[in-house]
Structure 1
């Protein structure tokens, strides 16, 4: 229950029509003792899609705490007026555009993934104006609001925020490390990732853990890496039947190959797309990608359950569950609201935190979070292998931001050519030209 002695806050969820919205609502409602709320708003420019979720969300809130005001709107002034936190998870173009991001590169034998490779770059160019638009709404109607932005692709979006809105109260985050840390805790025999103390450096979806310690300060990284060299992030005896779908099992297993390239660190599993792109393409179905899985699975499941709740008039017995990524959002909001100085992984300007790396790069590193924002922790120098991989990828992300700012075909072609997932400039050009047609109305006109 809410603590009567604590201030109550108002939040707006930007991207209210997302299938992740009910998970976030459930997490917010489960943590009212930590983050008391007086108002929850949903905001989406697709009122029809948001309307599939809003009646169920209203019931969830009323049954948990009827004192919380609920608003679902497509009007940015209503959404952003008098709010303390914006939880932003917008997807410009929704899943049909994600499907094209994945399938067009696969036609040319290149990684088809929503944040990695050409598809991620295409998504980035679409996402920048949507995120900037929401920042501007926030600054106009609630200038003291914090935006907790986990809109993908997070690295490109963060670079655009750094350039275009450098003084905005935006904190860029990603839930991917939370899933990894849950796996680490399970492998090491702990009930919760929060029982362990982590050190990490890298970029979004592109990094390495350099330390994992137990509550007594004992270093467990060698034990973790030893396990990963044998099993990846799976447990002995597990099979794909133990995962929600085979892609997550394959990803957990592939860590075995990633960690073999540097057994001194535990890698982010997304590195599979950059270090083993040929394997990723070989195991992809160019006619049925992750977007199709989500549309046929998660979308139908969540929208169907929300329709059932709305019809029944109660959320009793619901199959909706709190997602792991939602927990991170509440932790961050609580740290900002109550100055907890919790240490969290954020995507921030390097500014010397990684001593031998581009100071303007948007890096993902531990930060201490309080009421005034975040303070990055010093990482020191990083090894040549990791530094080289990261610098190439940072340049790709910067070139996409250049392409957006300059409406430059050449910069976008350079970004795709430089990507480690693309074999040549010839292939990059073919993919880019097809993506331009697919993204008409979303991308700036490139010339």
Structure 2
């Protein structure tokens, strides 16, 4: 830890349900990553204020030395900042509802980061993420942006293409959540002790090797668990009442694994490899977004109001660090304090996967320090994974082409190429509905 340096953090998307967890992680890790200021920024003042009032009380009680501000003004938010932690959801849950339910009308997977729903969300996210990046560079040109905003693959492709020299790292907590499960399967108390090889795209990857901190090969043990129960065996005891949809997703991993028992797959691959199963097991009137509204969203905002009414955060379950928050703080600490830690992040390939497109945005392990990241070479990948990845990276590139060029044709091609969509005619029907639903969010398409 630096002797004197204390860091200023802007949380873009201050009204997010994940924000209290980020604040809790920042406070928990203050000894190794000291904070002098936290600023919340959001364009939804009312939503942000509910979260901010609770966080303000928590900070007054847990870390009164930290200056705290919440604002809708970009200059106030991004001036004198070391890190921007971005986690915006453009269109909030009303638009996620459409992302999930419009494809299901046509018998196609409805998911916020996969298939047509993910593409729709991506086109809404590109402009606002670039806007926040530009604000950061204008008001704090030496700051780093750590972007968690989904869909991370499309956002990463767009930021790399439109702002190739910007100090932004695109990240996702899905690999970390999986590593926690693998550690649990093997009786290891800390996932940081795992040393892994991993390659793919965001929400579209595979673990090819895994060792503990003594160099012991963990893959045989993990394979045994995954072949039998998917990722269920690794779920911590405190998540036994996790949402039903996640339980089903973690169990379905065993069928994804069966396609290639030499690797361990990311759980999201079920949407691409078993789309018929996913649609069959989806309720078109009650999707994942409804679970969140009834679960996390309701809990977080009820808890925030309770903290504000009581005037104390004592006894509240609101301020609990979790995968998302711990990971983003770990990464900021690596950049600030030059820890040279290993992180799975989304970066231009440039040969790290030797038989894959150099300009693809891939998700691989990297060493992170004060000057950014260094890729850890993953070598050549098998034909099965390479073929799937080439198809999916083409979808992501076509979607960004469509946003930049305002091209209906390119977007139709992106929808058609998605492995979740059965034909060009179905792709066109979904696209036309999505255009109507996303008026005011997407560029005008010609």
**Aligned-partner Cα distance in 2 for 1:216–1:338:** 25
Counterpart of 2:106 in structure 1 is 108
Change (3 A) 1:383 1:188: same
The question of whether the paired residues in 2 share the 8 Å contact of 1:56 and 1:310 is answered with yes
Q: Secondary structure at the match of 1:365?
A: strand
Mapping for residues 405-416 of structure 1, pairs under 5 Å: 405-416=404-415
| Displacement of 1:237 | 12
The question of whether the paired residues in 2 share the 8 Å contact of 1:240 and 1:249 is answered with no
**Aligned-partner Cα distance in 2 for 1:62–1:140:** 30
Please say if 1:317 is aligned against 2:333: no
The question of whether the paired residues in 1 share the 8 Å contact of 2:180 and 2:234 is answered with no
Give 1:228's match in structure 2, choosing from 211, 216, 226.
Answer: 226
**Aligned-partner Cα distance in 1 for 2:334–2:236:** 37
Counterpart of 1:16 in structure 2 is 14
**Aligned-partner Cα distance in 2 for 1:52–1:171:** 29
Counterpart of 1:35 in structure 2 is 33
**Aligned-partner Cα distance in 2 for 1:20–1:238:** 20
Counterpart of 2:336 in structure 1 is 337
| Displacement of 1:413 | 0.2
Q: Secondary structure at the match of 1:102?
A: helix
Give 1:163's match in structure 2, choosing from 157, 161, 164.
Answer: 161
Cα deviation code 1:62-92 (max 9, x no counterpart): 1111111000000000000000000000111
**Aligned-partner Cα distance in 2 for 1:294–1:124:** 20
Cα deviation code 1:223-270 (max 9, x no counterpart): 211221111111299999923111111111101101000000010000
Counterpart of 1:373 in structure 2 is 372
**Aligned-partner Cα distance in 2 for 1:369–1:379:** 16
Give 2:118's match in structure 1, choosing from 120, 137, 161.
Answer: 120
Q: Secondary structure at the match of 1:235?
A: helix
The question of whether the paired residues in 2 share the 8 Å contact of 1:366 and 1:377 is answered with yes
The question of whether the paired residues in 2 share the 8 Å contact of 1:108 and 1:427 is answered with yes
Give 1:282's match in structure 2, choosing from 262, 280, 283.
Answer: 280
The question of whether the paired residues in 2 share the 8 Å contact of 1:239 and 1:249 is answered with no
**Aligned-partner Cα distance in 1 for 2:335–2:247:** 35
**Aligned-partner Cα distance in 2 for 1:267–1:287:** 29
Mapping for residues 43-442 of structure 1, pairs under 5 Å: 43-235=41-233, 242-320=240-318, 321-442=320-441
The question of whether the paired residues in 1 share the 8 Å contact of 2:243 and 2:291 is answered with no
Change (3 A) 1:397 1:4: closer
Q: Secondary structure at the match of 2:285?
A: coil
Unaligned stretches of 5+ residues in structure 2: none
**Aligned-partner Cα distance in 2 for 1:241–1:163:** 39
**Aligned-partner Cα distance in 1 for 2:268–2:2:** 43
**Aligned-partner Cα distance in 2 for 1:138–1:441:** 24
The question of whether the paired residues in 1 share the 8 Å contact of 2:202 and 2:362 is answered with yes
With normalisation by structure 2, the TM-score equals 0.98
**Aligned-partner Cα distance in 2 for 1:30–1:277:** 41
**Aligned-partner Cα distance in 2 for 1:304–1:40:** 23
**Aligned-partner Cα distance in 2 for 1:155–1:236:** 26
The question of whether the paired residues in 2 share the 8 Å contact of 1:222 and 1:264 is answered with no
| Displacement of 1:195 | 2.0
Q: Secondary structure at the match of 1:147?
A: strand
Q: Secondary structure at the match of 1:51?
A: helix
The question of whether the paired residues in 2 share the 8 Å contact of 1:361 and 1:394 is answered with yes
| Displacement of 1:5 | 2.5
Equivalent residue pairs, number: 445
